[in-house]
Structures are given as structure tokens and as C-alpha cells.
Structure 1
Amino acid sequence: MSNSAGRILPVLTALLLLAPAVPANATTTGRDGPVGWSTAWSAAHHHPVPGNDWDGPNWSVPGFADQSVRQVVRVSAAGSLIRIRLSNRYGNQPLRLTGATVGRPISGAAVRPGTLLPVTFERRLSTTVPAGAEATSDPVRLPVRALEALTVTLYFAGPTGPATFHQGGLTSTYRSTGDHRFDHRAAAFTGETSQSWYHLAGVDVAGSPRTRGTVVTFGDSQTDGYGSTPGADNRYPDQLAERLVATGRPLAVANAGISGNKLLADSPCYGEQGVTRFRRDALGLPGVRVAVVLIGINDIGGGGYPDFGCGASPVVTAAQLIDGHRALIRAARADRVAVVGVTMPPMKNAVGYDTAQNEMLRDEVNRWIRGGGEYDAVVDLDRILADPTDPDALRPAYDHGDHLHLNDAGATVAAAAVAARIR
């Protein structure tokens, strides 16, 4: 642990007692007066890209026309009110939403009868989101418990054009022709599923004294959950939320990971560089109090590869990566958000990543994260997840199979290590 790691408890306590100022429209009035919104679920978006054998099919390039899109998410915190946020950041035309509903799922695309409620935007059922922009709905009075699932159904009567989306959703999304916003039957959505999220950027909660802000987990596929069981909510941020709930800590958890993301390079397939998107995807979330940063392995492993259609991968130095981390720390401090640094886990035997030069670079950056004293706290996953007989390799029990990504057991260990730094 770095010398500054011990400061995280008073820092978090102060942030919970004295929350940063939020815009006037980010509060609502509850039984105990004004209550701020907290992000209880989020997805970091990127450009639409065609599906492939590695990531699976998706609907982002054609978008939607006269189609209903039903998405099931799990909120990480309680609230008496919810609202949804929609994104058209990477659209090439205004996004015209005909209408939306929220409800309580049963299983799959089925929704509990009588729970589907309309969502309005400035008191209108439909809305138009300009290209490059987001829209936030009006509050919906639908009480939710921590770790409860919600169904969000969006209907687009006219063509949307390419869809702003999150490819690695690891959760089934359902599509059907026609307007099925208020159709609770799973049969209305048979036949077409995807493992991505479309246009839905976040679900916020308010009105519960048990929720006092959000921990945002920021990074690449380790945060996004690649390697965990699809449909099981076993990503490390999911399990972090479960631990916070189980131990009575009043914080939601939001996931701002994008598989393939880099700290220092943009990719049309895997999102804008971390130093650019951190302010929007992490610090820009309603109610954020703590940011947990795990990123850099793709800058190292991809360095020097040519552009195969997903952007160039320049060779980076340890000094450049450290400067990138420092940029994130400065941004978080400017917004009075506590920031936790996480060392990059072992990568020995990972195809395309494991070279002597790459290992030296990973070690050097990890030494700075671990001992540099610049993060408010440090989670040393490099050591926690390492094989005791070979510290440069993942422990086999935590290895998804590619020697780089965590399976469910590895995500459990990572979540426990992060939770230990948050009070």
C-alpha cells in the first residue's frame, strides 16, 4: 500500500458528509428534503461497429426502425424515484425516441404484469436527442431495492441511423418489430437477441437515505467484465456492489469499463482514450464520490500493432502511462472525487501481450501506482491475483483461460480487494 492509501477513509468520510455541489436539476425533494441523484447503473458508450466472430453480432450499424428494444439492467442501490439517461453521442442524426417504459422483469424479456410505467422527457412521451448529446428523463415513481433488476423498453418508430452503444454488455437485449413498450409478454420479443446495450447510458436513483452517492469503476475489459459468466452479473463491479450492500455501505456502483479501451489512444471500436473520456464517463456521472481506476494493459499489449480497422496502437513508455494516470488523478481531485488506483494484473502467457519488454513496462507502471503516493488509495491486484509459484502469471484458479482476463472467481477476489479500500 502507498503512503497515501491510509488517507482514503477520512477522504471518503468527508466526501459523504459534504457532497460536491450538483446542478439544480440533479436533485429532487423527498421526505427529508432535497435528495441528490446517484448513478445506480451505467454503460460507457462508443462508436457503432459491425459485429464479428470475437465479440458477436450487434445491431449498432443499421440502428432501429419501427422496432422496440428491451434491455434489462440491475441497479446497484435503492431509491424511491428512478430516471433513465439516453445517449446519441456517436449518432450521425437526431435520435427520435417515440416512447419508453420501465418495469419489473420476471425473466428474460418478460415483465411483471401491471408494473410497466411510461417514461417522459420534459413531460412528453417522445423526445429527440441531438447528435452528440444525451437526454435525461423525468423522474419515475418506481421504488427499487439495491441489486434489483429493471426492464427499460425503447420504441423507435422511424429510422435511428447508427446506434450509440456498448458492445460488451454480457446481458441479453431483446428486439421486436412494432411498438411493444407496454407488452409484458416474453413472446413479443422472441427470436432476436444481442449481448450489447443500445442508447441506454444510465439509470439514476433518488429519494432513499440508504444511497449517498456512487463509486464508479473505470477501465478496460477487466472492469467491463470480459471473462465473467454472461447473464450472471459477476463482473467485479457487480460483485463490489453486492459487498457494499451486504456490509451496509451507502454507495451505488457504476461501471465505466470498455473492453479494449486504452488510456492514451482512441479507437473507433473500443472507445475514446481514457484520458479523454474519464471526465465524461466517470466524473460526469450523477452522484459520483469515488473513482476506481484500472487501465493501461491494452496500451502496453497493443503497442506497435498496425491499424487493423480499430485504430493505431502506438508504442508507449512508462512515463507516458504515468502521466496519463496523473491526468486522471488531477481531474478527480478538481471535482473533489476520491480516486483509487489499481495495479494491472499479471499477463504472462497472454497471446499478443506477453513479451519481455511489455512485462518490464507493466512492472514499472505498477511500481509507480503501488508506491508513488499519488492515488488516495491503492488496490494491488498484480500481487493479489498472481500465481504464488510464478508472480508474473495469473493464479490458474482466477484465469478465464487466456491468461489475461478474470473468471468469476477472479472477479470475486478483485471485488473484495477494492471493497476493502472503501468505507
Structure 2
Amino acid sequence: MRIVRALLALLLILLPFTAAGAAARPADPPGWTTAWATSPHPPSRAFVTNWAQQGFANQTLRQVVRVSEGGLTTRVRLTNRYGTAPLTITGATIARTAGAGAIRPETLSPLTAGLSPTFEIAPGADLVTDPVALPLNAFDSITITLYFAGPTGPATQHAQAIATTYRAAGDHRADPTAAAFTESTPTWYYLAGVEVADLLPNPPAIVAFGDSITDGVGSTTDADNRFPDELAERLAAAGAPRAVLNQGIGGNRVTVDSDWLGESALRRFQRDVLDQPGVGTVIILEGANDIGLSAGAPDLGEPPVPVSADQLIAAHRELIGRARAAGLRVIGATILPFGDSPYDSPEAEAKRSAVNEWIRTSGEYDAVVDTAAALADPADPSRLNPAFDSGDRLHPNDAGFRAMAQAVNLADLR
């Protein structure tokens, strides 16, 4: 069966070649769906220690992601979205993951662009690699390895990957083991997505769009227990598998741009949601940081930017309208309790309650996921249930993210 799938994958790649022959770049086969995604943001300081600001030179990065949809052929979306100079990738590979920085060498393939093993990404741009005959199943882990011979400058990143990235000195893009990869960090660099194509179209993907709650802060590193992961697993167990894409950024706000907490939801919605291939539904869970950072955060270098409940509701309405105009089903999730966290105050709780009441009762979303009710402390609904609290009174733990996924009515994802 594996050989048959590999042959079909190769056929999908070879069929679209133009009449100009093998030297020509193959056209894209139809029916691409995003099977994994993350939201890039600027290479500024972050919640975690990483390598984004200094970038890379004569170094190899090895990064592991888990897809939530399968297909016969695979391609990778790389990004230099926040670079100020062209990014040269000297060489890149993709393979199935063997664990802890190692790969399965029999699955190793080069990643090319325009059939060239070395390629350049313009500043501010994304690049999609040529298709690779790497058949994938939902929940397969793949390893993407990038080698940079020359200096990259500061690197476009996703700081809180909740996953381990490995670094080696020199060119180790084809190494089967992780022996050379002696450094690690919990951040992804230059990755935006993994896309798959099959002989028949995959079901429309779901984007989970939000802040650190969606991103998975508080979950176990390398365990894939974030809310979108748990939702994808629940859908598969129910016999309705679909890709669920995590487009959360820690600290992100709906209405306010930040040089290190990411562009606002309003600004990044086009690229992180509407431009994703094969998407049919978006779940929006965002607003806690607009409320909690209204008074500023001097320790984070964030100035006060007061945001009212009415402003948040107006911004949600704009996101709803843009999603519907693109033909997407749009689902609203209520803002989780944050009592006893640094965000807590009577004014902040009043804003959260007002926005949540609008989400629940206005009828403006196509459907609602009441994540706030699902994770609230029965003794005090302004606080997280201790069973679901990662310890900071703000972010759920693994059990909390499972409870969030359980709160979704799967019929609403039709």
C-alpha cells in the first residue's frame, strides 16, 4: 500500500509538467489544502530565549511539525515576511520524523523552488516549494531542515512554538541522526505552512485564530496538546477528520499592533486566515490581551492602549464580515476567565463579561463555542477552574485544552 501511495504521489507531481519538458517548473496540482500552519511575526524580543534577532550563518535548523490532514504530495510554505533583505536558503530537506531531532533517512527528499535546490525569498514575501512525493497521513510528524550558508539577518519567527527546534553548525541538512544538532530552542523560524494535495479534494480546513490560548501556551512542549490539536483529534475520532490550523500568537490583540506581540488580528486576518488554501471555517478566540493590556505592561515595554468593550465588539464584527465575504463559516469563542491573573481588575472583568455576552447572544456569529463557561471555576466563574489552570490563572493546561475542544459542537463545523 505504501508503494502504491508513493507511485500515486509521483504521478500527481509529474502530470502537470508543461510540454517544455523536465527543465520546466511543474505547475501546481489541483486541490491543495493547508495541513499545518503557524502565524509568523517579527524577529524582536520574545517571551522565550531564542535566535530570532541574531539570525543564522553557516548553520542548519531542524524543525518538527505535526500535520492534521494527509495527502499524496507535500509542499512547504516558507516565509521572509518580516525580513529586510533577501533570504537565501542554500539547501533544504523534508523527511518523516524519527524523534528528538532525528529523521527517517529512507523518507528524505530535497526541497526545491523552481527545481533549484538553492533559492531566495524576497523581503516581505512567502515562497511555496515545489511538490514532493511524500505521502502523509493525518497526525504524521515531519521534519523540515534548512541550511543557511551566508548570514540571514534577523529571522521571521513564531516564538512560542511549544515544540523543539534544533540547530547545528555547518551543513547537516541530510543527517539521519541529531548528533550535530547540539542546540535547541522552542521557536519556529521561516515556517508558515505545510500543504498537501490528493487525488480527491480534502474536506475544508478549519482555522483556529487567536492569541496565546490558541497558540497553546501552558500545554506540554512537543506533546501536541494545544486546543487546535485536540480539536483535530476529536474530529478524527468522530469519523469527520479535517485539518485544524493553529493561527494563534502569544500576546496578540484584535485591535493593536505590536513589534513583538504580532500584528493585530485585524491586520493579519487576510494572510493568516483568508489566504490559506482549502479553508472553510474560522474559529475566533481573541480579546483577552486587548482588555488586559489596556493599562499597559511596563515590564513588557508595552504602553497603555485603552480598548473598550464596544471597540472589541466592532473589531469582531469586522472580522465576521471579512470571513463571510470570503465564503467562510465564522464561529466565535468566548474569552476565558482571567481572575487573579495580572489582567484581573473590576474594569477588565466588566469588559470581558460584556464582550462574552455579545458573542453568546447577538447571533452575529454563525455559531458560538462557550470556552469561558467550559473552563470556568464553578465556585467563581471569573476564574479558571483549578483543574484546567496551567498555574498562571490565565492559560489552560493540557486538560483545559482538551476541555476547550470538547466544548465545540462538531455539527457547527459542517
The question of a shared fold, defined as TM-score above 0.5 by the shorter chain, is answered with: yes
CA contact (8 A) 1:329 1:375 kept: yes
What whole-Å deviation, never above 9, does each CA across 1:21-53 have from its counterpart, x for those lacking one?
A: xxxxxxx97xxx9641111111101111235xx
Q: Please, which moves more after superposition, 296-305 or 209-218?
A: 209-218
CA contact (8 A) 1:221 1:260 kept: yes
Question: Residue in 2 aligned with 1:115?
Answer: 107
TM-score by structure 1 length?
0.89
CA contact (8 A) 1:91 1:162 kept: yes
Question: Residue in 2 aligned with 1:11?
Answer: none
CA contact (8 A) 1:269 1:310 kept: no
> Does residue 39 of structure 2 align to residue 39 of structure 1?
no
Q: Pick from 212, 221, 233 the counterpart of residue 203 of structure 2.
A: 212
Aligned pairs for 1:69-218 within 5 A: 69-189=61-181, 191-207=182-198, 209=200, 211-218=202-209
SS at match of 1:323: helix
Q: Pick from 52, 68, 71 the counterpart of residue 60 of structure 1.
A: 52
What is the number of equivalent residue pairs in this alignment? 388
Q: Please, which moves more after superposition, 168-177 or 203-212?
A: 203-212
Unaligned runs of 5+ in 1: 1-27
| Alignment partners' CA distance in 2, 1:171 and 1:83 | 21
SS at match of 1:359: helix
| Alignment partners' CA distance in 1, 2:143 and 2:199 | 20
> Does residue 375 of structure 2 align to residue 385 of structure 1?
yes
Shift of 1:122: 1.2
Question: Residue in 2 aligned with 1:234?
Answer: 225
CA contact (8 A) 1:213 1:250 kept: no
Residue type of the partner of 1:67? Q
| Alignment partners' CA distance in 2, 1:46 and 1:312 | 19
| Alignment partners' CA distance in 2, 1:313 and 1:222 | 22
CA contact (8 A) 1:211 1:250 kept: no
CA contact (8 A) 1:83 1:136 kept: yes
Question: Residue in 1 aligned with 2:390?
Answer: 400
Shift of 1:247: 1.7
Residue type of the partner of 1:320? Q
| Alignment partners' CA distance in 2, 1:406 and 1:110 | 30
CA contact (8 A) 1:224 1:256 kept: yes
Shift of 1:174: 0.5
What whole-Å deviation, never above 9, does each CA across 1:295-345 have from its counterpart, x for those lacking one?
A: 000000110216656543411111100010011001101100111000001
| Alignment partners' CA distance in 2, 1:375 and 1:150 | 35
| Alignment partners' CA distance in 2, 1:304 and 1:401 | 23
Shift of 1:209: 3.8
SS at match of 1:271: coil
Aligned pairs for 1:344-423 within 5 A: 344-351=335-342, 353-418=343-408, 420=410, 421-423=412-414
| Alignment partners' CA distance in 2, 1:248 and 1:326 | 33
| Alignment partners' CA distance in 2, 1:331 and 1:415 | 25
Aligned pairs for 1:240-255 within 5 A: 240-255=231-246
| Alignment partners' CA distance in 2, 1:407 and 1:63 | 31
Residue type of the partner of 2:67? V
SS at match of 2:138: coil
TM-score by structure 2 length?
0.91
Question: Residue in 1 aligned with 2:315?
Answer: 324
Residue type of the partner of 1:316? V
| Alignment partners' CA distance in 2, 1:374 and 1:170 | 33
Residue type of the partner of 2:381? P
Aligned CA distance change for structure 1 residues 34 and 90 (closer, same or farther; 3 Å): closer
| Alignment partners' CA distance in 2, 1:226 and 1:130 | 31
| Alignment partners' CA distance in 1, 2:87 and 2:29 | 32
Unaligned runs of 5+ in 2: 1-14, 17-27
| Alignment partners' CA distance in 1, 2:142 and 2:379 | 44
CA contact (8 A) 2:284 2:330 kept: yes
Question: Residue in 2 aligned with 1:10?
Answer: none
Shift of 1:347: 1.1
Shift of 1:214: 1.1
What whole-Å deviation, never above 9, does each CA across 1:264-308 have from its counterpart, x for those lacking one?
A: 101111100111111111111111111000000000011021665
Aligned pairs for 1:197-346 within 5 A: 197-207=188-198, 209=200, 211-305=202-296, 310-346=301-337
| Alignment partners' CA distance in 2, 1:144 and 1:413 | 28
